[in-house]
Homo-oligomer: A and B are copies of this chain.
Amino acid sequence: MTRPYLANKLQLDPVLIAEARTIANDIVAQVTPFIFSHSTVSVERTIVRMFGVNGVNPEGIPFPNVLVDHMREQGLIEDGAASLIAKACLHYGKNPQSLAEEIDRNELSLENLPDYPLETLHEMALGLALPAVTRIKEQGRNREAMIGSLGQGAEPYLYAIVATGNIYEDIIQARAAVHQGADIIAVIRSTGQSLLDYVPYGPTTEGFGGTFATQANFSIMRQALDEVGQEVGRYIRLTNYCSGLCMPEIAAMGALERLDVMLNDSMYGIIFRDINMQRTFIDQYFSRLINGFAGIVINTGEDNYLTTADAMEAAHTVLASDLINEQFAFLSGLPEAQQGLGHAMEINPDQPDAFLYEIAQAQLIREVFPRSPIKYMPPTKYMTGNIFRAHVQDTLFNVASIMTGQSIHLLGMLTEASHTPLMQDRFLSIESAQLVFQYMRNFGDEITFAADGKIQQRARETLQAAVNMLITIRDTGLFGALEKGMFAEISRSASGGRGLDGVFAKGPNYLNPFVELFGGDANV
C-alpha cells in the first residue's frame, strides 16, 4: 500500500468528512484551555527525566519521583519542575542528577531558593533540555538513516507482540519473529503497569502477560532489533505503550531510546484502565508533543471499544473517536503520517454479510484517513479455543486487511482465546499473513464496489452516524460524553478514576522548555 491512499471506492461525501473534522476540532478546542492551563506530576517527572535525571534511590524509588514528590511536598510544583531545577542548578551549580540524589539523602532542598529573572530561568532550562533534545533528534536521524540504508517492509506492516514477561526471553521471540517476517515488534506490558505512578527501573525478567516497560528494557530490545534488522536487511520498528499514569515519561524514554511506535491514547486509559480523564488528557498532550518531535508513530485504541460494545452497533463510535484523536494529535503538532489510528475487525462472524460490513468499515477508515498509517486489529472477541477455526478467522482478517490497504497490521493469533503467543503461534500467524498478502496483494486494485451496494451504504451510514455522534459530543463536551458511556458502553466520571491527585494548575511563572523546543503551542 502506498500513502496517501487515493482511491475513492466508497463514494464518500468529502464535505461530510470535512464537517466531521471541524466538529472534532471544536470538541478538542473545548478541552484545550483546560489542558494548557494544567500540568501533572507525570509531565513534571518527564521534564526531570529529559534533564537527565535517572536511576532509583536505595528504596527503589525512581529519582524523577523523588524530585517531583519533593517539589509537591514543598508546595513548589506550580512553577513547574523545569523552573525549579533551573533555579537550583543556577544556585547550587550542580547538575539535576546530583540535585536529585542529594535531595533524596535530605542533603539539599528546593525550598527557599533565591529568585532569578524569568528570562534567566528560561535560558537555563533550555540549556538543560538541550542534551535530550539533541539525542532525540539524533535518534530520529538514526532511524531515517537506517531505513534509508536497510529499507523497510511493505505495508501492511506485520506487527507482532512478545509477552513473556522476561526481556531476554522476549528478545529470543522477537528475533525469531523478525526472521520469520515481522516488521514491528511490540513488547506487551505486564498487567497493571499502567496503574503504577512511577516507571520501573532496569532490565526486568518477571511480569504477568507482558514485560515491564523500563528504559533499560527499551534499550536492550532496541539493540536486539537493530542487530536482527541488519541480518534480515530491513529496519525493524519497536513498539511500546505510553499510556496509563506515566504516559509522558514513557514517551520520553521511547524518544530517547528510539522506539518507533507508541500506543498512546487517553481514551483507552480512561475507559479500560479507569485513569482519570483530566490527568490523562494533560499527559497525552505532552506525550504527543514528544512523540511528534521524535518521529514516533502513535497508535490509538479504538479497536478496544468493540470488545465491550457490539461491532455492528458501535462502528461509528470508532470513527468518531479516531476523528477526535486526530485532532488531539494535531493539537500536539503530530502529523498525519504519524497517526496510527486504530480500528478492528470484531463483527460476530455468524452475522450474515459480516464480511461486507467489515470491508465497509476498514475501507471507510482507510479513505477518511488517507495519509495516516492506520492500525488494523484482528478479531479477538469471537475467537474461541478452537485454534483451527481461529486461524480461519485470522486468515479472513488478513484478506480484509490487504484488500483495503491497511498500514499497520496487528497479527491475529490462533490462540487468542487461551494464552499470550507461543513462539509457534506467532510463526503460524506471520506465515498466514505473508501467504495472504502475497496471494492477494493487488486484489484491492482489481475490484470496485457496487454503486450503492451494501458496502457503500454501510460505510456512508457509519460516517453519518459518526458525524451525528460528534455533534452530540460537542453539545455535551467530551467529559460529558465519557460520563454518558458513549464509548465502549463504559461510563467514567470526570473526577473519578486514578491519578486526579497528580493534576495541578500551572502558576503564572510555569515553565516547560520542551513545549517550545518540540514546537508546541505558544499559549502553553
Q: CB within 8 Å of B: which residues of A?
A: 349-350, 352-356, 359, 386, 388-389, 391-393, 395-396, 399, 414, 428, 431-432, 435-436, 438-443, 445-450, 453-455
Contact = CB atoms under 8 A, between A and B. Distances in A.
B442 A353 contact: yes
A441 B352 contact: yes
Among A428, A431, A439, A454: residue with most chain B CB under 10 A? A439
Contact of A392 (B389, B391, B441, B445): B391
Given A391-B388, A432-B389, A446 B450 contact: yes
Contact of A428 (B354, B388, B432, B443): B388
Contact of A395 (B354, B396, B414): B396
Question: When A and B form their complex, which 8 residue pairs have the shortest distance between CB atoms, in order from nearest?
Answer: A395-B395, A447-B447, A355-B440, A355-B439, A392-B432, A388-B428, A446-B453, A392-B395
B356 A442 contact: yes
Contacts of A392: 391-392, 395, 431-432, 435-436
Given A355-B443, A447-B450, A448-B450, 20 more contacts: A349-B438, A352-B441, A353-B441, A354-B438, A354-B439, A356-B440, A359-B443, A388-B388, A389-B428, A392-B432, A392-B435, A395-B395, A395-B396, A396-B439, A399-B399, A446-B454, A446-B455, A447-B447, A447-B449, A448-B448
A156 B443 CA distance: 23
Contacts of A445: 450, 453
Given A447-B449, A448-B447, A450-B446, A439 B349 contact: yes
Nearest to A454: B446
Nearest to A455: B446
A452 to B, nearest CB: 11
Given A389-B431, A395-B396, A454 B436 contact: no
Contacts of A440: 355-356, 396
